[in-house]
Amino acid sequence: MRTLRHRLARALVLAFPGMALAGSLGGPGGAALAADDNPPDVGDRRGALVDEVVFTQESDVGKVAGLIERGSYHVFAQGVTNTTVYHRLRDSDEVGYEQAYGTSTELTLNPAGPEFANGRLNPFAVRDIREAMNWLVNRRYVAEEIYGGLAVPRFLPINTAFPDYARLADTARALEIEYGHNPERASRVIREKMQALGASRDNGTWHYDGRPVELTILIRTEDARKRVGDYVANLLEDQGFRVRRQYRTAGEASRIWIGTDPNAGEWHIYTGSWVSTVVNRDVASNLSYYYTPRGRPDPLWQAYDPVPELDRIAERLQRRDYDTTEERRELMARGMELAMEDSARVWLVDQTNVIPRSDDVALAADLAGGIAGSRLWPYTLRFRDRLGGQVIFAAPSLLTEPWNPVAGSNWLFDTMITRSLSDTPVMPDPFTGLYWPQRIDSAEVTVQEDVPVTRTLDWLSVERVPEITVPEDTWIDWDTERGRFITVGEKHPDGMTARTRTRVRYENGYLDRRWHDGSRVSMADLVLPWILTFARADESSSLFDGSYLPVFEVFQRHFRGWRIVGTDPLVVEIYSDQIYPDAETIVAQRAPSVEPWHTLALGIMAERSDELAFSADKADRKRIPWMSMISGPSLDVLERKLGRAREHGFVPYAGVLERYLRADEISHRYQALADWYAGQGHFWVGDGPFYLDEVHPVERTVVLRRYEDFPDPADKWLRFTQPRIPEVRLDGPMMVQMGSGARFDLTITFQGEPYGREAIKEVQYLLFDGEGDLVHQGRAAPASGGRWRIALDAGQLDALGTGANSLEVAVTSTDVALPTFASHAFATVPPGTMTLEETP
Amino acid sequence: MSTAPGVASPSRAGSLRDLRRIAAFTARRLVALFLTVMVGVYLTIVIANMGGEVDELRKLQIRSTVAEQVRADPAFADMPAEERNELIQRRVQQQIERRRLDEPFILRSIDYLQQAAVLDLGRAEEMHSDRGSREVYRIIVERLPATLLLFGTANLLVFFVSVFAALRLSRHYGSISDRAVIALAPSSAAPGWFYGIFLILIFAFIVPVLPAGGMVDVPPPDGAWAYAVSVLRHMVLPVAAMFISSIFISIYSWRTFFLIHSSEDYVEMARAKGLPAGMIERRYILRPTLSPIITSFALMLIGLWSGAIILEQVFNWPGLGTLLFQAIGHRDTPVIIGSVVIFAYLLALTVFLLDILYAILDPRVRVGIEGDNQ
């Protein structure tokens, strides 16, 4: 059954990228997930569904399947792209896997020239030749043969698993057909343009200026790109080019493709790869980044010379200079077309990373970031057949840098752990990237009328007003000398406006919760992180950190103030000029969260006394240790600071914070922290579904325990364990007589059940004639029981002419970003011809 | 018998002369060793940095990392490109300055050397100790016990087993076991990690009785005894791998060594006198060969310092080999230099001590009249 599914998935990969994603998800991983139909009865259990999580380090991917089978580990946190390991996982009965699609492979083409400084010819300076590379490469071959099915073809500068791809499904599909594998067309274009450049083909080899035209391909050697590079080199040799293959690792290659002037002619093609660790709901800036000199200051980007229309569209999309989502969509669609014509990059595949896990374990993986990038893993991790128990994660690296809550380690697997130790106001949907409320009750987003913002979910509202005036009592800055916030009224006596106002209403009892050390959350936990936001950027502050300044300046460009509207329940207003297309994202970016002020206080004391520093940069400049709240020499310093803080009742920025403290809060907090340190041996205090129980730095092992006082029911997020990717079947006549209409039936299901109509965002269809030209497009009409109907009238079919045609359908859902495609081939025949349907 | 005032007695004068010779020899030897260490360390500095080329690689890496961080951060998404690129440049510059990559390599290399000369290992540029310290000393010391434990155990086992087995074989030249050892000696052509892979496959997966890697169970046991037992279990496979890869060639070479010495005239004479075999082994074979045995033993001990990169990787062992591998990957020059500096000083110290030890063990070794070591 598994093999059959896999073959089906492979067949689907060959058919359509999006469909392949759906098909592969319905493969082994999906089969294992099917067991989730009966999630465990959690009773009144709160917080995590398992009792203990252990993280340990394992760098050998080859061992993983075997170690999971023998029960040494349950989950390997890193995505695997090795096909041998993938096949091993696929064939194992004890091991399942999750899938993620955040990695892409492309060919970066050198656009300099057409003559390099060394006199050699660079054919890729010609836009048409770059475009022809799209027809030359067979993306299906790359996905299926080189990546062994662990990839899907990709044509556009949009990841096929991201919402923008679904929004542009019709355009995408049309472009994918337009730029499908067509080596004859590629050869023709290359031949014409090479001749136009003054090159001639002698004895099958292109010559320019009396010398053979030699192309240099920088081929990365660490992964499947080595074979991709060889494949492209072979194709180009077949086209009459001499090819020099330079096999290089990341560092060696970067010296050439990033480090040198592209005009110097050190390379022609580089096998590039890009990674995204979250589902990015707005990739409109990709055009600017990948095709224009605005992308990066490096020499390669400065050599890009897009046509003015592409440049203008890319800039507008990057600045979010559009009034409506429809306008954005049109800009994106046109931008995609122009990007394909430009083809400074030839996108090849979106890789599928498989994340191995034991078959009896389930958890929510992010469609882009996998498990390591998933915010929901600690909330959904469980054994399929029981509650509680111990789950062991292996990761290729752990405890890479010191942990502190201000500027500590941001390594992927470290942050994966720390995310489970602290709760968050909102939770990203792992399948759509939209945010759901976690600790907040509701939010109101107010935007200026000209701001294009869309709301999808109903836990928040969007209001449009002509102008948003920032109230005078809103805090906008920090006065280090006087130790107080500066209000808008003081800083901008003439008043100030903002493009957005976000009012966040936290859930009841938000400030009654307890930290892991048993102390109660208070308003000071909300206010102190705000003070640090400003104090660390103020040169007169003892906490000033030069490395933080650029980040702060970006924040300050948009920030227009914040204020506490109420405390029971907690309501906060934030004013900003920064816009995101989704209102949910605006709330997620604005909603402040809490940090335990008493642990921050120890860090502040240590940094003020120049014994420790929050950031690596400041630590190195002052030649003091980078603060770690979980291990190492920092602990002795922090312990001493705890003693002093308890002795003196220290409260940082007491002039502001004291008014937000409860009675006896200071002594209670420090007492709780002292007890915590005595018991746990570290200072990491959070409010997440797990607490940090043990840290073994040399053994590279971290032990988390379930936090039993976590406020939420244990099954709160279980609906996100499995992506509900629509499964689509398209039926219709094989032959249609011209002059008559035709009806096609579409069945959309998920695990055999009809897909809820309310969850279907859009069902678009595209009608292509035998030449692959788009003749007509429209939207399917809903019928009952997960069925949809496409009716084509006689006029639409007549426009096809006689011959073979194709009806393509793109289904997008509100439950998952990934669109699903289906296709139906049929022939239009002259009137009177007997059709297959009429054959007795 | 009295001595004229101001005139030293011949024996005293001889002692003083010997002391002067020893002092001069010691000073010269120390200076020579120190210079050798400095030359070795400086070569390491230059090679580890590819004569400064690595600076460019690291700058590029910083540029790429910062650019990608900015790209991934939605806060930067709608910034005007010029501002964003200017911001990228500032952040890159900060990183470059923090790592002192803005200074000429030659100046930094001299700094590195000065620090090495006074055994100041300094701060790492990219890495941290497992507990989070930037101090190279802490980074290295933290990994030392794991390496000493694993390689110490394996090498001591190999050394003593091979010496005593070789002695025995040298007495039974041509026996079945002797021929077996000769036949198996080429098996040492394969390194320990090679055998390690097979041992893991067999004993961790096919017959899963031993752990596939790591130093201790996950999570580590609480009690000291339980912890020690767990570590011992995890040592079995890597020690076995090293033992298998080294033991036969080691026995073979010691056996050959002892055979050569067993055929010396004075040994034949002892045998002819009918002395017991044990006495012949101890007094006539082992004693005169003690210097090379101790040299080999001392160098083996020093060799523990460097660990074994691939073997530690295969067994996921948190030792110095893994550390060096990571340091090379990060291009963290201070950590690479730190490892080499300590090794170089230990080697120099060992060589110096061996010089002295030779003089004690072997009466033929003397500080020469002309001050030369003979």
**Residue A731 three-state SS:** strand
- From the first residue on, what is the mean pLDDT of each consecutive set of 10 residues in chain A (840 residues)? 36 36 37 47 88 92 87 90 86 87 91 90 94 95 90 90 83 88 94 93 90 93 91 95 91 82 92 83 87 87 92 88 86 94 94 91 88 91 92 91 91 92 94 92 93 89 95 94 93 93 95 94 95 94 90 88 93 92 92 95 96 91 92 94 95 93 93 96 96 92 95 90 86 87 91 87 86 84 87 88 87 84 87 66
Q: How far apart are CA A169 and CA A182, in angstroms?
A: 22
Tell me the one-letter amino acid at B258. Answer: F
Q: How far apart are CA B129 and CA B136, in angstroms?
A: 8
Chain B: give the shortest CA distance to residue A593, in Å.
Answer: 17
Which residue bears the tokens 């994202």? A585
| Confidence check: pLDDT of B273 > 70 | yes
**Per this entry, what is the length of chain B?**
374
Q: Please report the pLDDT score of residue A806 as a whole number.
A: 86
Q: Please report the pLDDT score of residue A839 as a whole number.
A: 58
Q: How far apart are CA B219 and CA A99, in angstroms?
A: 27
Residue A752: how many other CB atoms lie within 10 Å: 8
What is the domain partition of chain B in residue ranges? 17-117, 142-330
Encoded tokens for A1? 């059954």
Encoded tokens for B293? 């045995």
Of A70, A555, A628, the CB nearest to B205: A70
Tell me the one-letter amino acid at A626. Answer: W
Tell me the one-letter amino acid at A629. Answer: M
A286 touches chain B (CB under 8 A): no
Q: Do B63 and A298 touch (CB under 8 A)?
A: yes
Provide the greatest CA pair distance for chain B.
103
Q: How far apart are CA B39 and CA B32, in angstroms?
A: 10
A617 touches chain B (CB under 8 A): yes
CA distances to A9, A111, A352, A355, A750 from A17, rounded to whole Å, are 11, 28, 12, 20, 19
Angle between helices B290-303 and B333-361 (to 10 degrees): 170
Q: Please report the pLDDT score of residue A837 as a whole number.
A: 60
| Confidence check: pLDDT of B201 > 80 | yes
Q: How far apart are CA A587 and CA A440, in angstroms?
A: 10
Of A423, A352, A334, A328, give the one whose Cα is nearest residue A46.
Answer: A423
Of B90, B131, B205, the CB nearest to A697: B131
* CB < 8 Å to B74, chain A: 282, 580, 585, 589
Chain B: give the shortest CA distance to residue A187, in Å.
Answer: 35
Of A533, A534, A509, give the one whose Cα is nearest residue A687.
Answer: A509
A628 touches chain B (CB under 8 A): yes
Buried b (16+ CB within 10 A) or exposed e, A163-199: bbbbbbbbbbbbbbbbbbebeeebbebbbebbeebeb
Q: Do A696 and B219 touch (CB under 8 A)?
A: yes
The residues near B198 (Cβ < 8 Å, ≥ 6 apart) are none
A679 touches chain B (CB under 8 A): no
Residue A557: how many other CB atoms lie within 10 Å: 16
Question: CB–CB of A457/A426 below 8 Å?
Answer: no
Using only the alpha carbons of chain B, give its radius of gyration.
28
Encoded tokens for A73? 């580990």
Question: CB–CB of A600/A528 below 8 Å?
Answer: yes
Q: How far apart are CA A313 and CA A294, in angstroms?
A: 13
Residue B209: how many other CB atoms lie within 10 Å: 10
Q: Please report the pLDDT score of residue A91 as a whole number.
A: 87
The residues near A112 (Cβ < 8 Å, ≥ 6 apart) are A122, A125, A261, A262, A263, A265, A303
Rounded to two decimals, the pTM is 0.83
DSSP string of A146-158?
Answer: ISTTSEEE--SSS
Q: Do B132 and A625 touch (CB under 8 A)?
A: yes
Mutate which of A54, A69, A103, A296 to disrupt the B interface (most B C-beta within 10 Å)?
A296
Q: How far apart are CA A237 and CA A243, in angstroms?
A: 6
Of B87, B129, B318, the CB nearest to A550: B87
Tell me the one-letter amino acid at B132. Answer: G
Of A315, A621, A703, the CB nearest to B98: A621
Chain B: give the shortest CA distance to residue A830, in Å.
Answer: 54
CATH topology assigned to domain B142-330: MetI-like fold (1.10.3720)
Chain B: give the shortest CA distance to residue A444, in Å.
Answer: 21
Q: How far apart are CA A29 and CA B240, in angstroms?
A: 38
| Confidence check: pLDDT of B113 > 50 | yes
* pLDDT band at residue B251 under the 50/70/90 scheme: very high
Chain A: give the shortest CA distance to residue B258, in Å.
Answer: 43
- Does residue A90 come out as left (phi exceeding 0), alpha (psi in the -120 to 50 range) or beta? alpha
Q: Do A294 and B146 touch (CB under 8 A)?
A: no
Q: How far apart are CA A221 and CA A247, in angstroms?
A: 6
Chain A: give the shortest CA distance to residue B132, in Å.
Answer: 5
Q: How far apart are CA B187 and CA B202, in angstroms?
A: 19
Q: Please report the pLDDT score of residue A28 as a whole number.
A: 33
Q: How far apart are CA A810 and CA A765, in angstroms?
A: 6
Chain B: give the shortest CA distance to residue A729, in Å.
Answer: 37
Tell me the one-letter amino acid at B42. Answer: Y
The residues near B58 (Cβ < 8 Å, ≥ 6 apart) are B99, B101, B331
**Which A residues 51-110 touch B at CB under 8 Å?**
54, 56-60, 63, 66-67, 70, 72
Q: How far apart are CA B291 and CA A716, in angstroms?
A: 73
DSSP string of B65-118?
Answer: HHHHHHHH-GGGTTS-HHHHHHHHHHHHHHHHHHTTTTS-HHHHHHHHHHHHHT
Of A290, A342, A299, give the one whose Cα is nearest residue A106.
Answer: A290
Q: Do A60 and B213 touch (CB under 8 A)?
A: yes
| Confidence check: pLDDT of B69 > 90 | no
Q: How far apart are CA B374 and CA B364, in angstroms?
A: 8
Question: CB–CB of A475/A561 below 8 Å?
Answer: yes
pLDDT digits 0-9 by tens, B275-289: 888 888 888 888 888
Question: CB–CB of A80/A396 below 8 Å?
Answer: no
* CB < 8 Å to B57, chain A: 251, 254-255
Compute the Cα dihedral for A284, A285, A288, A289 and give only its sign.
Answer: negative
Q: Do B213 and A254 touch (CB under 8 A)?
A: no
Q: How far is CA A580 from the centre of its chain?
A: 15
Encoded tokens for A153? 């073809």
A772 touches chain B (CB under 8 A): no
* CB < 8 Å to A298, chain B: 63, 67
Q: How far apart are CA B313 and CA A278, in angstroms?
A: 31
Cα angle value A533/A534/A539 (rounded, 5°)? 125
Q: Do A254 and B98 touch (CB under 8 A)?
A: no
Question: CB–CB of B63/B92 below 8 Å?
Answer: yes
Q: Do B134 and A700 touch (CB under 8 A)?
A: no
Q: Please report the pLDDT score of residue A34 as a whole number.
A: 37
Compute the Cα dihedral for A715, A717, A722, A725 and give only its sign.
Answer: positive
Q: Do A700 and B130 touch (CB under 8 A)?
A: yes
Q: How far apart are CA B261 and CA A507, in angstroms?
A: 87
Q: How far apart are CA A435 and CA A448, in angstroms?
A: 22
Q: Do B74 and A633 touch (CB under 8 A)?
A: no
Domains and CATH numbers, chain A: 102-350 (3.10.105.10), 412-699 (no CATH), 724-838 (2.60.40.1220)
Of B77, B98, B204, the CB nearest to A285: B77
Buried b (16+ CB within 10 A) or exposed e, B133-146: bbbbbbbbebbbeb
- Could you report the predicted ipTM of this complex, rounded to two decimals? 0.79
Encoded tokens for A169? 């499904």
Query: Is omega for the bond preceding A212 within 30 degrees of 0, making it cis?
Result: no
Q: Do B94 and A578 touch (CB under 8 A)?
A: no
Tell me the one-letter amino acid at B1. Answer: M
Buried b (16+ CB within 10 A) or exposed e, A367-390: bbbbbbbbbbbbbbbbbbeebebe
**Residue A347 three-state SS:** strand
Mutate which of B53, B59, B60 to disrupt the A interface (most A C-beta within 10 Å)?
B60
Residue of B nearest to A396 (CA): B316
Mutate which of A699, A701, A703 to disrupt the B interface (most B C-beta within 10 Å)?
A699
Q: How far apart are CA A324 and CA A468, in angstroms?
A: 19
* CB < 8 Å to B81, chain A: 288, 292-295, 315, 318
Q: How far is CA B367 from the centre of its chain?
A: 29
Beta A820-829 vs A735-737: how paired, if at all?
A: parallel
**Per this entry, what is the length of chain A?**
840
DSSP string of A627-693?
Answer: P-SSSSHHHHHHHHHHHHHHHHT--TTHHHHGGGPPTTHHHHHHHHHHHHHHHHSS-----SSEEEE
Q: How far apart are CA A756 and CA A814, in angstroms?
A: 10
